[in-house]
Amino acid sequence: MHLPSDPVVEARGVTKTFPGVRALDAVNFSLRRGEVHALVGENGAGKTTLIHVLGGVLRPDAGEILVEGRPVRFRHPADAARCGIGLVFQELSLAGNLSVAENIFAHRQPVRAAGLIDWPALHARTRELLARFDLDVDPRTPVRRLPAARQQVVEILKALSRGPRVLVLDEPTSSLTAPDAQHLFAGIARMKAAGASVIYISHHLPEIFRVADRVTVLRDGRVVGTCAAAEATEQSLVRSMVGRDLANIYGERQSEVGPEVLRVREACGERFSGVSFSLRRGEILGVAGLVGAGRTELARALLGAPPMTAGTVALDGRPVRIRSPADGIAAGLAYLTEDRKQDGLFLDMTVRANCVAPSLADFAGRLGWMDERRIDRFAEDSRRRLRIATPGIAQRVRNLSGGNQQKVLLAMWMGARPKVLIVDEPTRGVDVGARSEIYGLLRQLAAAGAAILMISSDLPEILGLSDRILVMRQGRLAGEFLRGQATAETIIARALPPDGGG
C-alpha cells in the first residue's frame, strides 16, 4: 500500500551510460510529498541525466522508477506528464516563432465546438499566468522576441500551467532576473503548501538553503549522500561535491594594474546611453546590474554588434571605430557571450575544434598547414586546466553538460589572447570547482596584461574578483566603486530603479 509519507517519485538503482561515460551509476533518489529536494554536484555529475530519466526523456539502462510506489516505464516525456511530472529544461525548449500563449499551452489549447482554438480563452489564461510573475507581456508576442530571462519565465509557466504534482527545475534561476527569481520562490512555496513536490537543481548554494528541505549530492554519477538542508552548510556541500575543501575561490591579484587601454566616452546604443569609463592593463572591471540594465548591449556595441549610435572609443590612446565584430576582433577585443547556444559555440563540432576556433590562424604553420599536434595539445591543455568533463576532445560539444559547454567557450577566448576581454556572465551554470579555475584563469590573463571587463549578475563574484566595480541601471552608469569599498547592499541599492521595482 502507498502511504502519504511514502515517496511520490523514486529512482532505484538507476544506471545510464553514454559512449565513454557512466552518467548515472546505481542511483537511488526519492522525492517526498510537499518537499523541495535539491540536486547538487559538479558539472557533468549526472544531475540533468537523472531528471531526464525521471521525466521520460531518457530510458535507464538498469534500475527502476516508481511513481506513488508503482513501477513505471516512461517511453516519452508525455508519459511522465500524465503521471504529473513536469520538467523545466536547463536548455530552453520553446518554439521561437510561436507566441507566448501557444508555447505555454502547446497541444493543449482550449477549443470551442468544431475543434477551433478558443483564442480569447487561451490569451486570458496566459495573461493570468503571466500575472503571477508580474509580467506585462502580450500573450501573442512571438517567444523569440523576448529576452532570454523572459523566455525562461515562459518555460517555467509552461510547466506550471499543467498543475504538476512534481515540478522539476534544472538551474531555473541561471538567467532569471532577481525579481523573477523571487516570483519563482513564491510559486514554489505555493506548490509545496498545496502538497506538490519540487526537484531543484542549482549551482547557487545560497539558493539551495533558501528553497530546499533536503539535498542530494551527486558526484561522477553516484549519490554521495542525502541530508536535510538544515543540517548542511555551504562548506559541507562543496566538500561532498568536489571531494575537497576550496579555499578563497576568488584568489588574489598577482600584479599591479598598468596604464589605460580602453576609454569609452558617452557611448549610446540600443539600451544604454551616456556611458563613459576607462579600463586599464591588468585590471578586472566588474559590471553589476539587474538583468536588462543594458550591460550586454553595451558589451556587444563595443564589439560592433550592432555598433554604438554615438560616443567614442579609444584603444591605447588612439581613437578606433568599430563597425562590426571583425573590426572589434582586429582591434584586440574579444567578447565571451552570455548566450552560448545562440552565438557562442559550434554545437556539432568537437571540443577540439571549438577550443581553437577563434585563434585558428595562430595554429597555422609556415606553409599554411595546420599544426594539428599543437591544436591537440592546446585542446588537451584546456580540457585539463578547466576540467572539462568529457571522454575526449573529439566529443561533440552538443553532448557536453551545460556547465562544460561554458568551459569550452572560455577556452576559446582565452586562447585568442585579446587586449581587452569582455566576459558576460562567465560562470553561469558552472560548478564551484570549475568556477575557482575560471577565476584563476581570469587572474592569470590579467597578470599577463589583458584588461578584463566582467559583466556578472553574481554579486559574490563581482565583489570577489573586481578591482573596480561599475553599476548599471536602466542603461546608464549608476555608480562606481573601488575594490573593498562596495558591499552587496551598496551595489543593489544602485542597481535597483529609483521606484524600487524590477
Ligand X SMILES: Nc1ncnc2c1ncn2[C@@H]1O[C@H](COP(=O)(O)OP(=O)(O)OP(=O)(O)O)[C@@H](O)[C@H]1O
Indicate whether 216 belongs to the interface with Mg ion (CB under 5 A).
no
Task: Work out the number of other CB atoms within 10 angstroms of the CB of residue 487.
Answer: 12
User: What is the side-by-side strand order in the sheet with 21-31?
Assistant: 21-31, 9-18, 62-67, 70-72
Nearer to Mg ion, 41 or 269 (CB): 41
Grid cell, residue 198, equals 519540487
Q: 71 to 100, contacts with Mg ion by CB under 5 A?
A: 90
CA neighbor of 445 nearest in space, from 299, 264, 297, 251: 251
The interface with Mg ion within residues 218-257 (CB under 5 A) comprises none
Choose between 90 and 202: whose C-beta lies nearer to Mg ion.
90
DSSP state of 307: P
Three-class secondary structure of residue 350 per DSSP: strand
The count of chain residues that interact with Mg ion, using the rule CB under 5 A, is 4
By the rule CB under 6 A, 175 interacts with ligand X = no
Residue 389's binding partner among Mg ion, ligand X, none (Cβ under 5 to 8 angstroms by kind) is ligand X
Name the binder of 49 from ligand X, Mg ion, none, CB < 5-8 A by kind.
ligand X
Q: Which of Mg ion, ligand X, none does residue 399 bind (CB under 5 to 8 Å by kind)? A: ligand X
Binders of ligand X in range 416-445 (CB under 6 A): 431
Q: How far is the CB of 429 from Mg ion (least distance, A)?
A: 8
| Segment (H or E) for 268 | strand 260-269
Residue number of the CB closest to Mg ion reads: 48
Q: CB nearer to ligand X: give 204 or 210.
A: 204
| Residue 53 and residue 59 in contact, taking contact as beta carbons nearer than 8 Å | yes
Task: Determine if 49 is a binding residue for Mg ion (CB under 5 A).
Answer: no
Is position 17 an interface residue for ligand X (rule: CB under 6 A)?
no
Residues 40-79 that bind ligand X (CB under 6 A): 41, 43-49
In contact, 302 and 270? CB cutoff 8 Å: no
Burial annotation 452-473 (CB, 10 A radius, 16+ → b, else e): bbbbbbbbebbbebbbbbbbbb
Which of residues 139 and 402 has its CB atom nearest to ligand X in the complex?
Answer: 402
* C-alpha to C-alpha distance for 401 and 418, rounded to whole angstroms: 27
Strand partners, 312: 265
Q: For residue 7, say if its preceding peptide bond is cis, omega within 30 degrees of 0.
A: no
| Contact between 48 and Mg ion per CB under 5 A | yes
400 binds, among Mg ion, ligand X, none (CB under 5 to 8 A by kind): ligand X
Contact of 37 with 214, CB cutoff 8 Å = yes
Told to check if 15 binds ligand X by CB under 6 A, we report: no
CA 442 to CA 448: how far, in whole Å? Answer: 10
Q: Residue 99 or residue 216: which is nearer to ligand X going by CB?
A: 216
Q: How far is the CB of 402 from ligand X (least distance, A)?
A: 4
Give the list of residues 6+ apart from residue 381 with CB closer than 8 angstroms, or none.
none
Query: Binding to ligand X by residue 402, rule CB under 6 A?
Result: yes
Provide, rounded to whole angstroms, the least separation between the CB of residue 47 and ligand X: 3
- Decide which of Mg ion, ligand X, none touches 404; Cβ closer than 5 to 8 Å per partner kind: ligand X
Given candidates 151, 152, 401, 457, which one binds ligand X under the rule CB under 6 A?
A: 401
Q: What is the DSSP string of 22-55?
A: EEEEEEEEEE-TT-EEEEE-STTSSHHHHHHHHT
> Which residue, 405 or 466, is less far from Mg ion as judged by CB?
405
The answer to whether 405 contacts Mg ion (rule: CB under 5 A) is no
Number of helices (H) and strands (E) in the chain: give both, helices first: 17, 20
Q: Which spans of this chain sit near Mg ion (rule: CB under 5 A)?
A: 48, 90, 401-402
